[in-house]
């Protein structure tokens, strides 16, 4: 008799807590429950969401080489030892969020096919350690006509008959910013296989897709990457566009994250005792902008209560928020919105941000709960 892998086996295989919520099994896509996510500012690796488009590749660290090519004066080929010896090691505490976080709410408005139904926890914060991409690019010598830096991973994605690697790019200006790392450690330990061992890109303030795992190649070029995950996926289209009508040369190529906020507690449909009710959650934004205020409304946005922001964080991380409200018994719907340093805030209605790929849902997050006497 063959042993059937249970969900717990699968999660354990990838060093994940068994309370993780599996959104797709093969390859594994999973997010933590909201209370676990909100319980620690730095997300333990065991609770860190994981987003994979292909099976996790097995990489022998001794044979591993990183290639740097394209518009550089000196192409490089580096072992892990070379990387550690030649470049100073740096660390950054940064939040990673998938562009598909909160897609589930978009799916409730109108059908979205073939995408992972993420709820609110395809996001996590870690301390990443590695070498700065700008140090590597300085050693390679970037040509004056370079505008973008493309990354390619070692995993093999299959779409119908076609097979290709996972890739993407960032503008040169972002690639030269010191917070962009080629990380070999996550929370003080070597990267786990599912998070990109032995080396991954970490692009703070950008959608998670640009933080390419199992990094094989860095190419300096004049145009953005023509990889499927830059040229087709991770593009934002107008609500009227569908998979059949999309002109793939159009659409907004996603880069910086937008401002977002989520209620982690109470949970949808939860019953809590009357008296002081604690609402908690997270808020984040992109591009190095900062969360300045988080507000909660219990009357659909007619009035707002300002939440307390935790002191922890930097311009590349989320902020945790909480607010205590004195509530008599009844049925409630709480909504949350954040304001960031460029005075951007979030759209009210989910239906107004619907798009056929289900990206970047940052409409007010709502939770219905009951207070019982």
Which residues sit at the interface with ligand MTE, rule CB under 6 A? Answer: 48-53, 96, 98, 153, 155, 166, 195, 208-209, 211-214
Residue 42 carries which DSSP code?
A: S
The residues near 246 (Cβ < 8 Å, ≥ 6 apart) are 237, 356
Backbone angles phi, psi at 302, to 5 degrees: -75, -35
Output the DSSP codes for 287-318.
TT--EEEEEEESSTTSS-EEPEEPS---TTS-
In the three-class reduction of DSSP (H, G, I as helix; E, B as strand; rest coil), residue 110 is classed as coil
In whole angstroms, the minimum distance from the beta carbon of 93 to ligand MTE comes to 15
- Residue 371 CB contacts under 8 Å (≥ 6 apart), including other chains: 271, 272, 273, 274, 277, 327, 328, 329, 330, 332
How near is the Cβ of 308 to ligand MTE at its closest, in Å? 28
Among residues 49 and 316, whose Cβ is nearest to ligand MTE? 49
Task: Name the strand (E) or helix (H) holding 180.
Answer: none
Give dist(CA 87, CA 139) in Å, integer: 9
Q: At 81, which helix (H) or strand (E)?
A: helix 80-86
Closest to 323 (Cα-Cα) out of 260, 261, 281: 281
What residues are paired with 253 via a beta bridge?
235
The whole-angstrom separation of Cα 67 and Cα 58 is 18
Using the minimum distance from each CB to ligand MTE, give the nearer residue, 168 or 266. Answer: 168
In the complex, the smallest distance separating the C-beta of residue 212 from ligand MTE, rounded to whole angstroms, is 4
In contact, 63 and 81? CB cutoff 8 Å: no
Shortest reach from residue 151's CB to ligand MTE, in Å: 8
Report the alpha-carbon distance of residue 132 to residue 60 in Å, rounded.
23
Residue 101 Cβ, how far from ligand MTE at the closest point, in Å?
8
Q: What's the min distance (Å) between Cβ of 330 and ligand MTE?
A: 38
Pick 174 or 337: Cβ nearer ligand MTE: 174
Residue 38 or 51: the one with the smaller Cβ distance to ligand MTE is 51
Handedness of CA 14, 20, 23, 25 (dihedral sign): positive
Q: Which two tokens stand for residue 346?
A: 């979030």
Distance of closest approach, residue 231 Cβ to ligand MTE, in angstroms: 15
Residue that is written with structure tokens 């290709």 in the block: 164
CB of 124 to ligand MTE, least distance (A): 7
Question: Is the CB of 201 or the CB of 263 nearer to ligand MTE?
Answer: 201
Q: Which residue's CB is nearer to ligand MTE, number 83 or number 154? A: 154
Instruction: Name which of 191 and 323 has its Cβ closer to ligand MTE.
Output: 191
Residue 46 or 155: the one with the smaller Cβ distance to ligand MTE is: 155
């Amino acid at each position: 008799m063959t042993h059937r892998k249970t969900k717990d086996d699968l999660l354990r295989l990838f060093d994940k807590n068994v309370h993780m919520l599996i959104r797709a099994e093969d390859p594994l896509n999973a997010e933590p429950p909201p209370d676990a996510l909100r319980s620690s500012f730095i997300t333990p690796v065991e609770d860190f969401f994981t987003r994979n488009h292909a099976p996790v590749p097995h990489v022998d660290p001794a044979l591993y080489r990183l290639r740097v090519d394209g518009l550089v004066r000196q192409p490089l080929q580096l072992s892990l030892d070379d990387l550690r010896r030649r470049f100073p090691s740096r660390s950054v505490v940064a939040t990673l969020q998938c562009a598909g976080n909160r897609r589930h709410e978009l799916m409730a408005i109108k059908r979205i096919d073939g995408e992972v139904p993420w709820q609110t926890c395809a996001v996590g914060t870690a301390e990443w350690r590695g070498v700065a991409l700008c140090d590597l690019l300085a050693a390679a010598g970037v040509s004056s006509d370079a505008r973008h830096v493309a990354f390619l991973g070692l995993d093999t994605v299959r779409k119908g008959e076609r097979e290709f690697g996972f890739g993407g790019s960032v503008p040169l200006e972002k690639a030269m910013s010191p917070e962009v790392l080629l990380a070999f450690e996550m929370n003080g330990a070597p990267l786990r296989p599912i998070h990109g061992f032995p080396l991954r890109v970490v692009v703070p303030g950008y959608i998670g897709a640009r933080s390419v795992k199992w990094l094989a190649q860095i190419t300096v070029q004049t145009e953005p990457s023509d990889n499927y995950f830059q040229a087709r996926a991770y593009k934002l289209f107008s609500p009227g566009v569908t998979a059949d009508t999309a002109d793939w040369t159009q659409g907004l190529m996603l880069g910086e994250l937008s401002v977002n906020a989520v209620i982690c507690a109470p949970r949808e449909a939860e019953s809590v005792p009357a008296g002081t009710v604690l609402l908690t959650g997270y808020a984040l934004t992109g591009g190095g902008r900062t969360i300045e205020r988080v507000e909660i409304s219990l009357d659909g946005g007619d009035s707002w209560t300002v939440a307390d922001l935790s002191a922890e964080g930097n311009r590349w991380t989320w902020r945790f928020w909480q607010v205590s409200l004195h509530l008599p018994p009844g049925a409630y719907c709480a909504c949350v919105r954040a304001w960031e340093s460029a005075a951007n805030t979030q759209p009210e209605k989910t239906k107004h941000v619907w798009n056929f790929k289900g990206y970047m849902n940052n409409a007010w997050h709502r939770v219905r709960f009951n207070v019982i006497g």
